[in-house]
Amino acid sequence: MSTKLYHNLIGGEWLPSRSGKTFQNINPADHSDVVGEFPASNAEDVDLAVAAAKKAFAIWRLVPAPKRAEILYRTGELLKERKEEYARQMTREMGKVLSETRGDVQEAIDEAFYVAGEGRRLFGKTTPSELQNKFAMSVRMPLGVVGLITPWNFPMAIPSWKLFPALVAGNTCVIKPAEDTPLSTYNLVQTLMDAGLPPGVVNIVAGYGPDAGAPIVEHPGVRAISFTGSSEIGSLVAQRAAANFKPVSLEMGGKNAQIVMEDANLDLALDGALWGAFGTTGQRCTATSRILVQKKIADEFIGRLVERARKLKVGNGLEAGIDVGPQVNAQQIETSQRYVEIARSEGAKLLTGGEALTAGAHANGTFFAPTVFAGVSAKMRIAREEVFGPVVSVIEFDTFQQAVEIANSIDYGLSTALYTRDVNKAFTAMRDLEAGITYINAPTIGAEVHLPFGGVKQTGNGHREGSEALDFYTTWKAVYVDYSDKLQRAQIDNAE
């Protein structure tokens, strides 16, 4: 069977890259399965895409926001119809199990319906003027052409978090999907087009970061950048964008802690730990990578955690009964292996896993065994640095205050969880944990689209996706209407 060849979407046309080069999208569970062949784009392609988006902006910005929103609503309806098809294709290209890719598409559906409602809620403010016969108000305005750079772990959900609010606000977009998972973004944009999105409003430029992503960041015609990825690359994006005074929204890494107090429901805490640590094969910025357990219950909790981790079935996410899919590529396997060796050298105790799975059904993919370390101290690298794989560290503590201090002792601040029956500790944790998200008696993963999503410290730069995304994709204009029919000078004529 021949491999399907995809092109860039520029001005409503599917065009090959000006570079003449392509790359293959490979199923991480079965390397013999080529999902598709995509263009390896360069700066010329970005120039064309930005020009198309700029041309489309002249028309799109004048479409009333409620009408723009109707396209998003239709997109949500179409995504519902195509959910199973898109989920299966996503599992092929990204690897996570089918129930999770269905959830990924569902998140895009939720985002479509939520943001469609924002088309009638792009509120400004009216306020009294300090002068007589003068009206004052503020209104939201679109930015223009925005550049979107998205990761591979949520290849439809995260593009929807960026595209939909940008579009309802009246912007046009150039999006570069991750090279490991371009098809899901293509499916999302195709659905937008089928729902009636005009040509050029969204343009896709596929390819690698240095060749296609960097030119988007640096392009003078791109007014803002939204990036989700590693803190290391996010820092480079911010630095390059700063040269043109370009606003940047960054959503980056995490080293998320689940705190388990001695009064917790241990069955619930174990369920949350397993889902948080090994869901999406640990490849999510909100993954539970540190489990902080009060010493009185540590032995019981660790024993049960290891027993259940060993029973998790690793394999092709399209197969029934699979709990954990592959890592997305060989580089991620190498990272997981490297951190296992780092942890061992630091004195951490490997209780299960710690190795790539390469035999039998795992021979043709990039699989890694669910891994649990105990005997971990808060100062170890395995407790401080993001692995982005199915590797979790257990840290023991004495007091609640000590647990909060350990949770806060890292450079990241995305998601946290506390398991306890003590309402006082719950509210203290909500106040004191340094994170953009805190869950009580729930795992570190599970964000919903109508709440703000993002973090503090090296996780983000202050912007939020979800409910607060419109603050990034719009700019404010103050408007004054003087109907006095005479010159009035603010701060001068009313000084007496």
Catalytic choice (111, 285, 396, 465)? 285
What is the helix (H) or strand (E) element at residue 310, kind and residue range? helix 295-311
Cβ 472 vs Cβ 226: under 8 Å = yes
Task: Specify which residues 309 forms β-bridges with.
Answer: none
Q: Could you tell me which residues are beta bridge partners of residue 474?
A: 142
Give the distance between the most distant pair of CA atoms in the chain.
87
Q: Give the whole-angstrom CA distance, residue 383 versus residue 380.
A: 5
β-bridge partners, 424: none
CA 339, CA 368: separation in Å to the nearest integer?
13
The DSSP element (H or E) to which 453 belongs, if any, is strand 452-453
Six token digits for residue 200: 């050029």
Judged by DSSP in three states, 138 sits in strand
Residue 398, Cβ neighbours under 10 Å: how many? 10
Number of residues that make up the chain? 496
77 is catalytic: no
The verdict on whether 285 is a catalytic residue reads yes
Rounded-to-integer distance, Cα 356 and Cα 231, Å: 25
Catalytic residue (one of 111, 251, 386, 396): 251
Per-residue CA distances from 100 to 27, 75, 278, 454 (Å):
16, 21, 12, 21
Cβ atoms within 10 A of the Cβ of 205, count? 28
> Which among 253, 250, 84, 61 has a CA at the least distance from the CA of 173?
61
H or E stretch including 105?
A: helix 98-118
Q: Which residues are catalytic?
A: 251, 285
